[in-house]
Structure formats: C-alpha cells, structure tokens
Amino acid sequence: MSSMRVRLTRRWPEVVEDRLRGLCDLAINADDRPLTRDQLIAALQENDVLGATVTDRLDTAVLSAPNRRCRLIASFGVGYNHIDTEAARAAGIAVTNTPGVLTDATADIAITLMLMAARRAGEGERLLRAGQWPGWSPNSLLGTQVTGKTLGIIGMGRIGQATARRAAFGFGMKIFYFSRTRLDLLEESVLGATHVKDLKAMLGHCDFVSMHCPASPATRHLLNAETLAALPPHAFVINTARGDVIDEAALAEALASGRIAGAGLDVYEREPIVHEALLPMENVVLLPHLGSGSQETREAMGHCAVDNIEAFIKGTVLPNRVV
C-alpha cells in the first residue's frame, strides 16, 4: 500500500472505498456532509489527493491557499465546473473527472423527466397520495403525448446522443440538435437528426428541448428570457446538464405566464436550493440530482475516479485528465 494520503470529501460507494484502502492512506468523510471552505483548504494542505465531488466549490481562494500538499483533484463526476481549472493549473494541481460511465443513467433520467412532465405524472401522484383523486374521468389530468413529437437537443455529446437514441428509436421522435460538434452523416441518418446553427430557430420547432451542454461561461443562461420566448407555448424544457445553463428566474416566469407548458429539472443553479417560484408549480417536475443515481453507475464513477488516483500513485498517465 502506498503512503500517499487521499482525502474523500464525501462518502463514496463502499466497494470503491474498500478498493482505495488497499492503495493508499485513506481518510473518509464519515458524516457525509459537504466540507466547509476551511476544511477544503486543510484537506489540500494535508493530503496528496483530494477526492472531490460536485458539492465542493474549489475556487481560486481555496486552491491558492498556502502550504498545499495536494497534487491531484480526482473529481467524482463528469462535470468539473465546481473547480476553477485555471487556478488548479496555476497551483500545479492536476484535475481528473469520470466521463462516459454515467451516460446511460443520465439519459434515462432525461427521458423520465420528459414523460413525467408531459403526462403530468408528478401532479397525478401528489393528488393520489393526498387522498384527493375522485376516480377516473374522460377529461381528468390530460397530458401531452411524447410519441412522434419533436425533440431539440442542446449539446450532442455522449449523453445528448444517448437521449436522442432513446427518443428516436423508443418514441419515434424527430430530432433537431444545436451543438458545436456535428455528428457524422451516418449517425445523423441513423437517428434522423438535423443539425442546426441557429438556436432560436431550432427552439421554434420544438415540442420538447433537452439540455445536455457542459457548463461554461458560453453556456451560462443559454436558456433565458429571450431564448425561452422562441419556444412554442406547448413546449417542455428538460434539464439534466448543469443548473446554470438555464436562467431559473426566467424559466419560472415563462412557466407562470403560460409561455411554455412545463419543465422537468434534475439540476439547479444554486443546489441544493431551488428557485422558490418553481416549488409550488404543478407543471414542473423537480428531481434531486438523480441523473447518475443508480448503484451501478455510482460504483462505475467511483472506480473511474480510483483509476485516476491509482495512476497518480504509480506515476503513470492519468486516464481522464482535464487539467
């Protein structure tokens, strides 16, 4: 076992923690509460590797604190916008992530949100659990059919493509996508997908729009008052990407005014805080960041993170280095 010290900021799946114990001097977060800023700084000062998650805000102030020992941040997740990558680079800290392993689980949640929002499933369950369902009637809780509708995908990476496949082959949906990277022509043909360069023009054709773009300054509030206004009034917005790709205040206003029909959200601008105007809305499905939340996926994410840590301990190439 290596003498390198590894500090996990949250509990990881037990099988993953057990694997790590055989590789290093491991310190876990027994109570599984997010570390404070001072605790993060101390962790960087006392450990060679920090096993971080999306709940850790590793900004310039944290990463530039003096007497750092840490030389690797192995992030448990595909997104790394919680880490100031330029500050990490300046501090000489490598950063890795866990891409690929959560693709299917997140695409499944995107489709789940689409179906729940369209068919008013959340609203119906709340009615039933409250003992207020009077029984079946021809006009009660009428929703929108998903099959055969048009889906606009913003960001056609691994998860966007997996969502498109489910929508196209499972529900016969017509696919448009807005993405800086275009699929090859064969894949477009198989999916029946059309690449568009004008976001607002695409939104005007969408019955549903699903967010799958990474978080960056360029994508922050990509859906805002102006772009939401381009959607038809029967459209639904789905977000399993990152919370800040949507202006939540603008979304709440569009939903309240009836400018769009509904939304399904798994991520939020200020997690775990949700914009207060969204909470009472019946036409919004709100999930607590379940995108990668299957046992199989979380274990795969953990093992991917450990692969990076093990490579660091052995001094070999980091498999998923982003900094």
Catalytic residues: 242, 271, 289
Strands 5-8 and 25-27 turn out to be: parallel
Smallest CA-to-CA distance from 16 within 289, 310, 292 is with 310
DSSP H helical segments within 133-266, as ranges? Answer: 158-165, 171, 185-191, 199-203, 225-228, 248-257
Cβ of 126: how many Cβ atoms within 10 Å?
A: 13
Cβ-contact 110, 132 below 8 angstroms: no
How many CA atoms within 13 Å lie on the side-chain side of 136?
A: 1
d(CA 165, CA 186) in angstroms, rounded, equals: 14
- Max distance between CA atoms of the chain, in angstroms, equals 69
Orientation of helix 121-129 relative to helix 103-118, angle to 10°: 70
Q: Which of 168, 177, 123, 120 is nearest to 147 (CA)?
A: 168
Burial of residue 107 (CB within 10 Å: 0-12, 13-18, 19+) is buried
